[in-house]
């Protein structure tokens, strides 16, 4: 099997459109972790992502008769631009089916390459099925984003370049994983030439399609996937990528959204460029691997797969980067509600930097404060701070890993209400014009909304926290309604952040 792909990769015609991207040293990160860390800069491609390699190689290898009919693809981002550019260079018709939630900037980018866009559905699966149907109706060739040998071979040229650019010893190559096209191509080539080099995939904790497939020895369909790293938000690994990964991939590491944000900052610090969340996955994986293995003096390559970041997402990234780097702790601390308490509490914190301090009077007994504190970048520093506070008699709850607290509560501290029969839910809904109104219209049919917090994160999905008054015995009908509504949701009624700051 690898022999077949070696030939296909060597013959891949990607350089009609793609560039051989640099393999750059990350000096700051290398010094910090005492390893030689190199960054493969696929964010510097003409469409700011590696995807045009596979797209062009697939299209250029189609028979002339098929090319004359045009090509069609389903994508909300990088693959769409790759297919559109490839078709433009080859002078053929291209149709890209995109979810209605696709940001306008990405739709405009695809149209700028001369492709026709069709907006359909709220998610990739909707767009995919519509594109397949259109391909059959119009006789066009469907260009799959990852589950195709020619696409895989095109992406494999990234691995070929890494070996050519770094002829010395390599210990491991870290590859972001969505459907698996990139890691399949890179692994097939590198393992054939240097079997001793580790190929390590990196996925978000909330989108572990390849990780689960390798763990269970079969492809699995995830019930749902996280939306932060939208470039790799795939519910099932590709069939052909999985087949290759079983033989050529050593492991898949999972990282959190906060760790991805920290990796985006690391890339910026070393290159002054901004990776998209999926693009920074490999750097997050490198850091986690080094810490887990205690590795020093190794040569490690991370593939920066893309830079198609919506500008308005940077606010969210900057907020979470310090948490991902373990440079900040978010704590809920109870202090006595009496004069001098704040000063004594701040003395206990000491000279650590305070990133935020949220408080509002609730009663004359206890005050609950929501505080962010800068740390020295280690788990020990957080534990030492919590121990220092508890030793001084302050009840402390660590909110650093509490998603609801970080997404919503920190922006809401300041008001309490005695609301009877309130249940709290956290929702994700497709972000498109009118979506918030539509969500509210559906939610307000049978239950009184007693709390509502929404904040735009510049992503394809909006995140909302909703409190509803539900009479005794009414929870089961509500659950049935929410299931039928079809939005991803999590009940948060028992979340300690809610009990401390909103009730």
Active-site positions read: 51, 305
Q: For residue 405, give the DSSP letter.
A: H
In angstroms, the CA 121 to CA 430 distance is 10
Spell out the SS3 assignment of 330-350.
EEEEEEECCCCHHHHHHHHHC
Using CA atoms, how far apart are residues 67 and 117, in angstroms rounded to an integer?
18
Query: Strand, coil or helix: what is 249?
Result: coil
Torsion sign (Cα): 366, 369, 375, 377? positive
Please name which of 7, 88, 101 lies closest in space to residue 55, comparing C-alpha atoms.
88
Backbone angles phi, psi at 455, to 5 degrees: -140, 125
Q: Rounded to an integer, what distance in angstroms lies between the CA atom of residue 35 and that of residue 445?
A: 58
Both tokens of 329, joined, read 């702790």
| Cα angle: 7, vertex 10, 12; to 5 degrees | 105
Let me know the angle formed at the C-alpha of 399 by 344 and 319, rounded to the nearest 5 degrees.
95
- Cα 470 to Cα 405, 416, 420, 478, 479, distances in angstroms: 23, 18, 8, 8, 11
CB-based contact 159:189 (threshold 8 Å): yes
Q: What residues contact residue 372 under an 8 Å CB cut-off, 6+ apart?
A: 328, 329, 330, 331, 354, 355, 356, 357, 410
Six-digit token string for 195: 């079997």
Q: Which helix (H) or strand (E) covers residue 489, if one does? A: strand 488-491
Residues 6+ apart with CB under 8 A from 17: 46, 52, 56, 85, 86, 89
Residue 202: name the closest of 232, 242, 163, 247 by CA: 232
159 close to 11: Cβ distance less than 8 angstroms? no
Spatial CA neighbour of 118 closest among 90, 232, 147, 129: 129
Cα(289)–Cα(306) distance, rounded to whole angstroms? 21
């Amino acid at each position: 099997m690898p022999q077949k792909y070696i030939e296909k990769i060597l013959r891949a015609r990607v350089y009609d459109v793609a560039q051989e991207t640099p393999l750059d040293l990350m000096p700051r990160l290398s010094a910090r972790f005492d390893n030689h860390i190199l960054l493969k800069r696929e964010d510097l491609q003409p469409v700011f992502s590696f995807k045009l390699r596979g797209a062009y190689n697939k299209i250029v290898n189609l028979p002339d008769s098929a090319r004359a009919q045009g090509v069609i693809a389903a994508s909300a981002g990088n693959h769409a631009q790759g297919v559109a550019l490839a078709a433009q260079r080859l002078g053929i018709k291209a149709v890209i089916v995109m979810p209605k939630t696709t940001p306008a900037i990405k739709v405009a980018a695809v149209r700028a390459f001369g492709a026709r866009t069709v907006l359909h559905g709220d998610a990739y699966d909707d767009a995919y099925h519509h594109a397949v149907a259109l391909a059959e109706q119009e006789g066009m060739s469907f260009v799959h984003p990852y589950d195709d040998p020619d696409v895989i071979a095109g992406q494999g040229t990234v691995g070929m370049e890494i070996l050519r650019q770094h002829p010395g010893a390599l210990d491991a190559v870290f590859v972001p994983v969505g459907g698996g096209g990139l890691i399949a191509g890179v692994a097939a080539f590198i393992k054939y030439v240097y079997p001793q080099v580790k190929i390590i995939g990196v996925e978000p904790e909330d989108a572990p399609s390849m990780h689960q497939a390798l763990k269970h020895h079969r492809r699995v369909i995830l019930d749902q996937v996280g939306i932060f790293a939208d470039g790799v938000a795939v519910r099932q690994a590709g069939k052909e990528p999985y087949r290759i990964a079983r033989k050529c991939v050593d492991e898949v590491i999972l990282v959190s959204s906060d760790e991805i944000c920290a990796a985006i900052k690391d890339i910026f610090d070393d290159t002054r460029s901004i990776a998209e969340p999926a693009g920074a996955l490999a750097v997050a994986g490198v850091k986690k691997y080094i810490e887990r293995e205690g590795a020093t003096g190794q040569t490690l390559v991370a593939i920066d797969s893309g830079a198609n970041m919506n500008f308005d997402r940077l606010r969210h990234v900057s907020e979470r980067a310090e948490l991902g780097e373990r440079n900040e702790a978010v704590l809920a601390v109870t202090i006595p509600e009496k004069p001098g308490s704040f000063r004594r509490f701040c003395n206990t914190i000491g000279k650590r930097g305070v990133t935020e301090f949220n408080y509002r009077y609730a009663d004359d007994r206890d005050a609950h404060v929501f505080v962010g504190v800068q740390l020295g970048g280690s788990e020990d520093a957080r534990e030492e701070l919590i121990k220092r506070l508890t030793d001084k008699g302050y009840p402390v709850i660590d909110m650093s890993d509490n998603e609801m607290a970080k997404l919503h509560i920190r922006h809401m501290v300041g008001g309490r209400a005695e609301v009877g029969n309130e249940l709290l839910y956290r929702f994700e809904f497709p972000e498109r014009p009118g979506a918030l109104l539509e969500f509210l219209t559906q939610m307000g049919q049978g239950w009184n909304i007693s709390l509502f917090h929404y904040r735009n994160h510049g992503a394809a999905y909006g995140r909302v926290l909703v409190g509803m008054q539900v009479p005794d015995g009414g929870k089961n009908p509500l659950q049935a309604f929410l299931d039928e509504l079809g939005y991803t949701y999590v009940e948060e009624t028992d979340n300690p952040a809610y009990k401390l700051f909103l009730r």
